[in-house]
Amino acid sequence: MQICYDQEFPEATREMTLKGAEIVCELMAWEHFIGDTLEEEGKRVGYPVEQFGIVRAMENQIYFVTSNMVGKNEMGDFCGASQIVDPNGLVLASCGTEECIVYADVDVREGIISNRATWLLKCVKDRKPHAYKCLANAQNLQGMTPLQDKDNIAEIK
C-alpha cells in the first residue's frame, strides 16, 4: 500500500517491488493542480496522476492500482482517475472523472511472469544500483533547497 504523494517517488514503488510486491495499491486525495486540464475544455482531467500509475507499473513490471477521490467537497476539488494498470503500462480499467468501482480480472502471477520474460526492457532485472549510489546515501541531499539544486548538481552526481 502507498498513499497519495508516495507516487511521486519512484524509489518507494521500486523498494516494494524488490521486496516481492506484485500489486501496489495507492489511496489518493489528488486534487486538480497546475498542468491538469479542465473538464470544461473537453480534455482529460488529472492527466499527470494517470501517468504516474502507468509509469510505476511499467518501470517495476507490476500491477499498479490507484483509488482517488473525485468531485468537489470542503477539502478540495479532486480529479478522480482511479485505475488498474498492468505490468506493460496498459490501463485495464479506469473511472476517468466519474465516481465508480474499478475492477479487472487478471492472473497476477502469469501477467508479471509473462511481462518480465518477454518485454524488451527488463526494468527490474537490468537495473544498475551502483550507477546511482547517491540514492543510497541520503546524507548527500540533507539541507538542500530547490535554489541549491542547480548549483550543486555536480556535487550530487
pLDDT at residue number 71: 85
pLDDT at residue number 76: 79
* Domains detected in the chain: 2-126 (3.60.110.10), 128-157 (no CATH)
pLDDT digits (tens, 9 = 90+) for 28-71: 887 766 455 555 555 554 567 788 899 999 989 999 999 988 88
pLDDT at residue number 42: 55
Query: What is the secondary structure of the chain as a DSSP string?
Result: -EEGGGGG-HHHHHHHHHTT-SEEEEEE-PBP-BTBPPGGGTS-SSHHHHHHHHHHHHHHTSEEEEEE-EEEETTEEEE---EEE-TTS-EEEE-TTS---------HHHHHHHHHHH-S--TTTT--GGGGGGGT-GGGGTT--HHHHHHTHHHH-
pTM score of the predicted model? 0.73
pLDDT at residue number 99: 86
pLDDT at residue number 24: 95
Residues of the chain short of pLDDT 70, as ranges, are 32-47, 119-121, 135-157
CB 6 within 8 A of CB 57: no
pLDDT at residue number 156: 47
Instruction: List CB contacts of 129: < 8 A, sequence separation 6 or more.
Output: 136
